[in-house]
Structure 1
Amino acid sequence: MKREQLGSRLGFIMLSAGCAIGCGNVWKFPWMCGQNGGGSFMLIYLLCLVILGIPALVLEFSIGRAAQTSPLFMYRKLEKPGQKWGIFGWFCLLGNIALMAFYTVVCGWIIYYFVQFLRGKNGSLGFSSMISSPSVNVFFLLVTVVIAFFILSFNLQGGLERVTKYMMSALLVLMLALAVHSLFLKGAGEGMTFYLKPDFSKIDGSVIVGAMNQAFFTLSTGMGGMAIFGSYIGKEHSLMGEAIHVITLDTLVAFLAGVIIFPACFTFDLEVNAGPSLLFDTMAAVFNNMSGGRIWGSLFFLFMVFAAMSTVLGVCENILAMIRELTGWSRPKGSVVCGTGVFLLALTTA
């Protein structure tokens, strides 16, 4: 089976950044930051990205480009005779599938919130009621999986690369508009002080460990999630340079998510340490009490949809590539089979 290649450097950066940018940036990062002291967490997180994130990302890109195969076989292809590194390819496959077993459900939640804001039904939204509704969870999980694998059923350049370019561009435009809007709220000064001013007394072992976990989670490293994109890029590109570009985009999105959320929380006197419900309950309450809240809420959850879906596409492309190399299936057939498998497995979470 002939190896597909990306059509441009921009496509590589957008795809890699899209896989890294997702719920880890715009959902998990703000509530982790809120629970761990704001600026204190931000400082340690940035240090972890530079010290640990860049080497890990370059390593995955390097392995993928050297092997020119999916993570399922890359270790076996690069190992020396007598070594047993090949077994870790199967861990990559299992890790990607396990991630999608819950990530597609969370993406479905975000699509549901976007649809409800668009319909003007945002007044009755609630995180607890949503996650306890099987029909909501299953239906929007199905929507997520169908959209993702429909896009992946086309060839790499005509499907995934093209869609990701448009989607990531729209995400950045929406985030910048929302961030500027938040900076004009009356609580913006207090919110940004909490967000960016470190309080060194709050830095302890749990904050450091949390920042390290977040750095690896947000970059999708450690499970071959980024290696697949390394296998799609030519040897004329500097992997260090590309890794820095990807991390810069990834960090920009996480930073902007905080700029959007924290000024709004301080303006409307809402808890910044609400945890996983920060995005759903807290931000929904913000938009419900804001002038033009339905419009701003729709835009906010639309950018959230783009962020979450970009990671779903990136990781599902990894799963599809591994299954295709294992079976020799075409993209359409592999997409149907992989999509069905991801949906059935994610039902255990939904």
Structure 2
Amino acid sequence: MERESFNSRIGFLLVSAGCAIGIGNVWRFPYICGEYGGGLFVLIYLLFLLIMGVPVLTMELSVGRASKKSAYKAFKMLEPAGSKWHIHGMTSIIGNYLLMMFYTVVSGWMLDYFFKFVRGDFQPGMTTEQTGAVFGSVLADPVEMVFWMLLEVIVCFIILRAGVQGGLEKITKIMMAALLVLITALGINSIFLPGGMEGLRFLLVPSLDGVHQHGWWTVISAAMNQAFFTLSVGMGSMEIFGSYIDKTHSLPGESVRIAALDTVVALMAGFIIFPACFAYGLKPDAGPSLLFITLPNVFMDMTAGVLWGALFFLFMTFASFSTVLAVCENIISFCMDTFNWSRNKAALINGALIGILSIPCALGFNVWEKLTIIGNRGVLDTEDFLVSNLILPIGSLIFLLFCVTRYGWGFDKYFEEVNAGDGMKLPKWTKPYLQYILPIMLLVIIVQGLIQ
């Protein structure tokens, strides 16, 4: 079967960035940034994004481009004879399924809220208790939770059945263009709110307030974690897009461009949320309640608040759904490579499978709300813990060791692949850093995640 490919370089960049851009950018980044000091946190975050996130991203893309296979077959093809690196290929695909088992539910909330604003469920003058009650009613209704999740899954696999160029790339280009227009309009609206510039200064001007409150190590480790997780590396979600591209352009340059798009969206989300919250005397460090309780309440106090609220959750829908599309493409590609299924068969079977596997998460807030699994966590938190604290960081460490040690693919082969093509090159002097320092940084993230 001939390997599919992207129709254009911009398609590859937008789809790859769409995989990275998700709820972590537009929800977690603002409230983590708000909690740990604003501008100084942003600077530390950008540093770690460059020295930690981007190198691991080049490794996933290199493995994909060199093999032209999904992660499991890629490791089998590139690993030394008799080694077992391909086991991680299977673990990574399990991580993709686990991620979709809760991510489709949360993405469904975004679409649900968009329609709630359009229908007029939110009205000017609503109190925080009233907006909170709306979210509570969503979580308490198993039919509503399952409906929006299944709608996302069905639309996703209908798109992916059309192929890489005709489905994934075509729709992601449209969606990402709309996302950038929406986020720009929302950001401009927030900046010009009375008092909004104060929020912008908080985001962009470094301050030691977060350090004084939490200490240097806490701020640095929080920035390190956010920089690492924002690119969605470690479980082959990015590797698959490397398998769809040629050697025209070098991978360090492509990785920096993907990280830059990802960062622009995260910062623009801050442009929306910080000025809006500061304008209304709030601080965006409220975690989950920020998105579904605090912000709807803020929008209802604005002129044309229903419009801005609807546009915000449409933007959130695009941001989260781009990740759903990208990760499910990895799942489909794995089944096509491993079982020799047609794209149509892989899409139908996995659409049904993910729809069924996601139901426990949707029911974990109502019918099964008393069910706890790992560490007294509910269904969603358990699935999130397995992906975020285990599969992503450990998977990234495995990709790293595979690419830079003689026991795996090896640094020389990785170095040749990553630098093939025009553009930015990875310097040879980075070898000691990649072999000795970066693994220690990833181990710190793994240990922190398990302790927390």
TM-score, reference length from structure 2: 0.75
**Greater Rg over alpha carbons, structure:** 2
Shift of 1:271: 3.4
- 8 Å contact 2:37–2:209 — kept in the other structure? no
Shift of 1:221: 0.5
Paired residue type of 1:342: I
Aligned match of 1:337: 349
Aligned match of 2:324: 312
Aligned match of 1:270: 282
Asked if residue 174 in structure 1 is aligned to residue 186 in structure 2, the reply is no
Asked if residue 298 in structure 1 is aligned to residue 306 in structure 2, the reply is no
Could you list the per-position Cα deviations for residues 267-312 of structure 1 after superposition, in whole angstroms to 9, with x for gaps in the alignment? 1122321112211111101111111001111111111111111010
Cα distance in 1 between the residues matched to 2:142 and 2:38:
35
Aligned match of 2:69: 69
Aligned match of 2:292: 280
Return 192-201 or 94-103, whichever deviates more. Answer: 192-201
Could you list the per-position Cα deviations for residues 101-150 of structure 1 after superposition, in whole angstroms to 9, with x for gaps in the alignment? 11111100000100101111124543333223222211111111111111
Cα distance in 2 between the residues matched to 1:128 and 1:44:
36
Paired residue type of 1:349: C
- 8 Å contact 1:71–1:228 — kept in the other structure? yes
Asked if residue 133 in structure 1 is aligned to residue 141 in structure 2, the reply is yes
- 8 Å contact 2:274–2:283 — kept in the other structure? no
Aligned match of 1:20: 20
Return 248-257 or 261-270, whichever deviates more. Answer: 261-270
Asked if residue 78 in structure 1 is aligned to residue 78 in structure 2, the reply is yes
User: For structure 1, which runs of at least 5 residues remain unmatched after alignment?
Assistant: none
- SS of 1:219's partner is coil
Aligned match of 1:110: 110
Paired residue type of 2:269: A
Could you list the per-position Cα deviations for residues 140-189 of structure 1 after superposition, in whole angstroms to 9, with x for gaps in the alignment? 11111111111001121111110011110110011111111111011212
Note closer, same or farther for the CA distance 1:343–1:165 as it changes in structure 2 (3 Å cut): same
Aligned match of 1:186: 194
Cα distance in 2 between the residues matched to 1:345 and 1:208:
36
Cα distance in 2 between the residues matched to 1:83 and 1:341:
31
- 8 Å contact 2:35–2:210 — kept in the other structure? no
- 8 Å contact 1:53–1:215 — kept in the other structure? yes
- 8 Å contact 2:61–2:239 — kept in the other structure? yes
- 8 Å contact 1:72–1:322 — kept in the other structure? yes
> Once the two structures are aligned, what percentage of the paired residues are identical?
52
Paired residue type of 2:321: M
Could you list the per-position Cα deviations for residues 198-238 of structure 1 after superposition, in whole angstroms to 9, with x for gaps in the alignment? 22352332322222222222101011110000000001121
Cα distance in 2 between the residues matched to 1:125 and 1:334:
41
Aligned match of 2:247: 235
Asked if residue 252 in structure 1 is aligned to residue 264 in structure 2, the reply is yes
More relative contact order, 1 or 2 (CA 8 Å, 6+ apart): 1
Asked if residue 199 in structure 1 is aligned to residue 204 in structure 2, the reply is no
- 8 Å contact 1:31–1:276 — kept in the other structure? no
Cα distance in 2 between the residues matched to 1:109 and 1:60:
30
Aligned match of 1:210: 222
Return 66-75 or 193-202, whichever deviates more. Answer: 193-202
Q: How many residues align?
A: 350
Asked if residue 328 in structure 1 is aligned to residue 340 in structure 2, the reply is yes
Cα distance in 2 between the residues matched to 1:81 and 1:174:
50
Cα distance in 2 between the residues matched to 1:230 and 1:125:
43
Shift of 1:326: 1.9
- 8 Å contact 1:271–1:282 — kept in the other structure? no
Return 146-155 or 36-45, whichever deviates more. Answer: 36-45
Aligned match of 1:154: 162
Return 255-264 or 333-342, whichever deviates more. Answer: 333-342
TM-score, reference length from structure 1: 0.97
- SS of 1:50's partner is helix
Cα distance in 2 between the residues matched to 1:125 and 1:116:
11
After the TM superposition, which residues 37-76 of structure 1 pair with which residues of structure 2 at under 5 Å, given as runs? Answer: 37-76=37-76
- 8 Å contact 2:277–2:283 — kept in the other structure? yes
